[in-house]
Amino acid sequence: MEIRRRNLLKAAATAGALLVAGLLRPVAALAAWSKEAFGAKNLADAMKSLGATGAAPSAEIAIEAPQIAENGSVVPIEITSKLAGTTAIAVLIEKNPFPLAGKFNFSEGALPYAKLNVKMGETSEIRVIAWAGGKAYSAHQEVKVTIGGCGG
Amino acid sequence: MAAGPMKMRAVQGAGFTDVRVLMSHPMETGQRKGPDGKLVPLHFIQNLTVKVNGKVVIEGETSQAVSRNPVFSFRLKGGAKGDKIEVSWLDNQGETNSTETAVA
Amino acid sequence: MKRTLTILASATLAACAAAPVGERPTVTAADIDHVTRVMKQDFHARGQATMNRLELDEVQRTCNLYNDQPPQDVAKRLEEAQLKEIKIPSGSLIGNWQNGEKIAQNGRGTMWSDKPGVQPGGSCYNCHRIQPKKEAYGTIGPSLAGYGKTRGSSPEMQRYTYGRIFNSKAYNLCSPMPRLGHAGSLNEQQIKDLVGLLLDPASPVNQ
Amino acid sequence: MHRFKLLGALLALSAAPTLALAQKSPYADYQRMAAENAPTELFELAGEELWKKKQGPKNASLERCDLGQGPGVLKGAYAALPRYFADAGRVMDLETRLLYCMETLQGRSREEATKRAFGNANQGSEFELLSAYIARFSNGMKITPSLSQPKERESYELGRALFYHRVGPWDFSCATCHGVEGKRIRMSELPKLDDPKYAGPLMATWPAYRVSTSKIVTLQWRMNDCFRQMRTPEPAFGSETTVALIHFMTATAGGETYRGPAIKR
């Protein structure tokens, strides 16, 4: 394994630390980031920005997540779409301040599958949207979040 | 860990190649207070790119809701021993990192 | 320690490796002193956690000696002595249950990491179910849900509840519960507020 | 470690009901999935760098450190600790031994090396990262802490006595929380650590990536933090007290298969 560290942009980032995040956008904009969808504060707005309003429920989308999570700061989820020709999958956590957690576009050569850890502020539905043949489909699963600890 | 090292493994499975990639990154939400009582600025990975032999196969966009020290697994169709896999990320502060490995 | 060690050395290896499940070691006064000696040599004061915290009082010493099951006469004598130390204020002991709930939830205070001078909480939810609707509760102590509903709030019950929080060891010498008043962790008003949480008919504990 | 083979087998049998028990926990699925997807390897990688890094007045790495299996031998080392080390004249757990090697091989002072014994999410401590790296080499092996030397039995007995010793302003002992079956503090299940049925699965998964603090936590840290919550003064890193407690609990877990570094809540 080889690790390469590229800090070319770090100097710019440091210099810009006092500036609002928006000014750094041009750098990030080199790669697309759906600012509007990620900035949406509720599920409906996020779905709208993603062009997924009215997504049809589908049993072909599998969500594997624990029913109860001991700690909301790390909730493992595994998502798979069995819809033929799936081009993208998005994960939304309905009760989070910003529901959209991630969106993955798959090209020829990748399977429509992703496994990741997400943060959940409270018990919430996890909604997964998959796009196939230009249409959006959706599935959801609830994850209960326990925030325990002794306070010590 | 602060933003820094990455680690990746790509292993052939049944008809696909399993790629697991780990990244050191604080994934700050901008809502957490640091030891000084001040809010720690928003700092999270926004873009993730997976390439196989130089060709982009997955483009991911992520938010601050991805957990600290992100771990992602992806699956590639087929895949042969020795295929070169490259994963890179770019965060909202312009930091970036990448790693590559060959399918084992 | 020496005595136990001699027994061990002559025992089989298996017995050395892991004591029979649930069986506590036989403890002598010398063993307790040995443990205290080792701790004094290994520990250092930090923040408000000073070294005198390693000294044992008679209750701790007795409970350690008898593995929390002292003979009845020994327990009774010490319980009575502990009971005498409880200072129960006059008048109603039912304080503000809303404040009581905050104190019951608060698990901070008196640790080396806590700021000195900040009034500690009672850590009650760590071990007890209290408000039936609050789910994050511990189970080391008995459930206190509906505590006042079944017991009423007579002056006698108020005094008992106050005393039990002030010094649980006065009622059950080797109870796992801290002596919150006796240790100086909770003050009079805080204990009254906790009594309120448990006994006030308006408290969610009794709904 | 052949002398404990029989014992290990016996204890393994007694630990068998543990699996069914673990499945009863409402968090079993969560814990399994989180463990599969934990970033533990990142910390192991950082630990490997520290193991090989030349530092201290002697500008030496730790690669010749003898963890009990010979200089530099990592395979199975963690699973066979704590044990007595003749060169140091005392029983040591992994972290205490690492400190010894930092002092002897690297020429560092105890004070300097333990200045930051426990790290944070931004930067783990040397002991935490090294522990994660070294423990990995014992994954799949049976836990067999040594008890054949008189000093080892003494340490075990001291740990056992400490476990039940009530002390401090709140009268707590380890057993107050970890001596009864089926109890919780808030929502956290409390393993009964003088019982192989609970000590086995627990000790088999330290050190671990702690989800709530995003860092590797070690047994020395666990001892330190339990005493903090018991409201006592602070035990010194690698002290006789902390090593003895670790020895007692590891011996109680003897025979269990080590499966760390794992994850914790």
- Using omega within 30 degrees of 0 as the cis cutoff, is the peptide bond preceding D191 cis? no
> How many beta carbons lie within 10 A of that of residue C160, not counting itself?
16
pLDDT tens digits along D169-195? 999 999 999 999 999 998 888 999 999
The CATH number given to whatever domain includes residue D218 is 1.10.760.10
The D residues from 164 to 223 touching C (CB cutoff 8 Å) are: 164-173, 176-177, 180, 182-187, 190, 194-197
Q: How far is A114 from chain D (nearest CA, A)?
A: 12
Under 8 Å between Cβ of C3 and C28: yes
CA-CA distance, C93 to C159, in Å (whole number)?
7
Name the residue facing A152 among C105, C107, C135 (closest C-beta): C107
In the predicted model, what is the mean pLDDT of chain C? 91
CA-CA distance, D161 to A133, in Å (whole number)?
68
Q: How far is D133 from chain A (nearest CA, A)?
A: 17
- Whether the CB of D42 is below 8 Å from some CB of chain B: the reply is yes
CA-CA distance, A104 to A87, in Å (whole number)?
9
Name the residue facing D233 among C18, C112, C178 (closest C-beta): C112
Q: Is the pLDDT of residue D149 over 80?
A: yes
Q: In terms of residue numbers, what domain contains D246?
A: 2-264
Q: Is the pLDDT of residue B26 over 50?
A: yes
pLDDT tens digits along B63-97? 999 999 999 999 999 888 899 999 999 999 999 99
CB pairs A-D closer than 8 Å = 56
ipTM of the complex: 0.81
* Residue D150 identity: P
Q: Is the pLDDT of residue C10 over 90?
A: no
How many angstroms separate the Cα of C30 from the Cα of each of C36, C75, D161, D249? 10, 21, 12, 23
- Using omega within 30 degrees of 0 as the cis cutoff, is the peptide bond preceding D207 cis? yes
CB contact under 8 A, A114 and B73: yes
Under 8 Å between Cβ of D154 and C1: yes
The A residues from 76 to 105 touching D (CB cutoff 8 Å) are: 76, 78
- 3-state class of D167 per DSSP? strand
CA-CA distance, D55 to A33, in Å (whole number)?
43
Residue whose entry in the numeric block shows the structure tokens 């002398």: D3
Q: Active site includes D226? A: yes
Q: Which residues of C70-109 are buried (b: 16+ CB within 10 A; e: fewer)?
A: beeeebeebbeebeeebeeeeeebbbbbebbbebbbbbbb
Main-chain phi, psi angles of D81, to 5 degrees: -105, 155
Mean pLDDT for the stretch of residues C85-102: 96
Chain centroid to CA A125: how far?
Answer: 13
Mean pLDDT is lowest, of A24-33, D114-123, D210-219, for A24-33
pLDDT tens digits along D121-136? 889 999 999 999 999 9
Name the residue facing B7 among D38, D45, D122 (closest C-beta): D45
Q: Which residues of B19-29 are buried (b: 16+ CB within 10 A; e: fewer)?
A: bbbbbbbbbbb
Q: Is the pLDDT of residue D224 over 80?
A: yes
CA-CA distance, A91 to D121, in Å (whole number)?
26
Beta bridge partners of A131: A88, A136
- Whether the CB of D143 is below 8 Å from some CB of chain C: the reply is no
Higher pLDDT, A13 or D198: D198
pLDDT tens digits along A95-114? 999 999 999 999 999 999 99
Q: How far is C108 from chain A (nearest CA, A)?
A: 6
Chains B and C touch (3+ CB pairs under 8 A): no
Radius of gyration of chain B (CA): 15
CB contact under 8 A, D188 and A152: no
The fold of A34-145 is: Immunoglobulin-like (2.60.40)
Beta strands in A1-152 (DSSP E): 2-6, 56-57, 61-64, 68-69, 75-81, 86-93, 100-106, 113-118, 124-132, 135-145
Under 8 Å between Cβ of D121 and B68: yes
CA-CA distance, D178 to D176, in Å (whole number)?
6
In chain B, DSSP finds a helix count (H) and a strand count (E) of 0, 7
- Which residue in chain A has the smallest CA separation from B52? A109
- Which residue in chain A has the smallest CA separation from C121? A151
pTM, rounded to two decimals: 0.85
Beta bridge partners of D235: C43
- Whether the CB of A116 is below 8 Å from some CB of chain B: the reply is yes
Instruction: Give the count of domains, chain D.
Output: 1
CB contact under 8 A, D34 and A76: yes
Q: How far is D197 from chain B (nearest CA, A)?
A: 32
